[in-house]
Structure 1
């Protein structure tokens, strides 16, 4: 019996990306986000920027399951619209918060291990992940210290490390440089720049520090009044008239856009 003749076509694999399609969020008639299409791929750092009140935090909450919305969220070809934050975290979509939310009464190492157990790692795997993160984020010397007693810069570093337990696919960092001085911001830049290569994940970084964001990100996605106004690499976005106009009200941001 003759073997069946193949079609010669390979089954197409879904593109690996965290993507939103037509995302819209309204609060009592007020539109916080409108028809936003955003995408970040593994190994890429995407900056999500915009003036105060632009809708960045709302979109962050959409990406990580904290906000109901119209439109779709897709992870590596899988529609995850409406999934809870816990379910998204377990498939590798993680986040940090503007206010570092460390587990009180636990050490630095215990904070990392608890986060690893929370996303479904076994105890042995959680310990391995914790050991690797302590090493890569230079936290080994303070592994036994009370986490909530750390200086602010180290709290920020621990919060980011905690989001990376178990090698996530995508991590959303909500203002990771908030409250850091210029030296601490430069140190953070170097650490974040290495994350995609070390962990193979995509990063979405929401940040007001234009000096950091312009040097850190591969691409930028700019929103204002809940709408996308520009996308592109930092040089393209910096020169975009719509972006310049949106930031005119902030002298510091405008200066960073011009010279970042």
Structure 2
């Protein structure tokens, strides 16, 4: 479980986060409400006062690489890498061994084309590569920022990703502005007026 109880101040904007994420947790809210700020703070790219617990351990003062959380948006890919090398990249950073069979399995589940250079792929396939890389990295949680809407057959991919994460005991927090995708959440939060409110 990921538990976020912190406050972020960015100029005149403030965010008061109170979120418990287990399984597949969605975050909705209008543009500018703070959804991306929430995820970036959880990932360690924004400073905050409070606590962020991953399986009961407070990591709010830890650098991003030690939080066991990985952030994914439309630009979190390395264009010059071959797809196969990219899929192993996150695991390599964490010094985690992954077998060829595991890489092939995750690539197949998410419909990742395993040949070619990442930068040459369509946006949707780049996102699939990023999601697969995050899943194979062995991190405890994946923070997905508004990328599912850029995927062809997004609901199908989200369901496959959800099942793959559940099988590996990886919690996911994702933001979306699409009602259909929000329905895929097992828990749903609304960010409004600088606060997170649980909807169900």
Q: Tell me whether the two structures share a fold, i.e. TM-score over 0.5.
A: yes
Cα-Cα RMSD:
1.9
Deviation at 1:137, TM superposition (A): 2.2
Report matched runs for 1:13-162 at 5 Å: 17-21=1-5, 23-28=6-11, 30-34=12-16, 36-41=17-22, 44-88=23-67, 92-97=68-73, 99-122=74-97, 125=98, 127=100, 129-139=102-112, 142-162=113-133
TM-score under structure 1 length normalisation: 0.71
Deviation at 1:169, TM superposition (A): 1.8
Q: Is the 8 A contact 2:19 2:198 kept in 1?
A: no
**4+ long deviations beyond 4 Å:** 126-129
CA contact (8 A) 2:8 2:14 kept: yes
3-state DSSP class of the match of 1:58?
helix
CA-CA distance at 1:129 after TM superposition: 4.2
Q: Distance in 2 between matches of 1:107 and 1:128?
A: 18
Counterpart in the other structure of 1:244: none
Counterpart of 2:185 in structure 1 is 217
Tell me if structure 1 keeps the 8 A contact 2:27–2:176.
yes
Structure 2 length-normalised TM: 0.90
The aligned counterpart of 1:238 is none
Q: Deviations over 1:26-56 (max 9, x none)?
A: 123x13302x211112xx1111111111111
CA positional deviation for 1:163: 0.8
Deviation by residue 1:122-150 (Cα, 9 ceiling, x = unmatched): 4xx365543332233233xx312111111
CA contact (8 A) 1:163 1:171 kept: yes
Separation in 2, partners of 1:38, 1:186: 24
Aligned-partner SS, 1:132: helix
Larger of the two Rg values belongs to structure = 1
Q: How many residues align?
A: 200
- Aligned with 1:179 (options 133, 143, 150): 150
How big is the shift at 1:64? 0.9
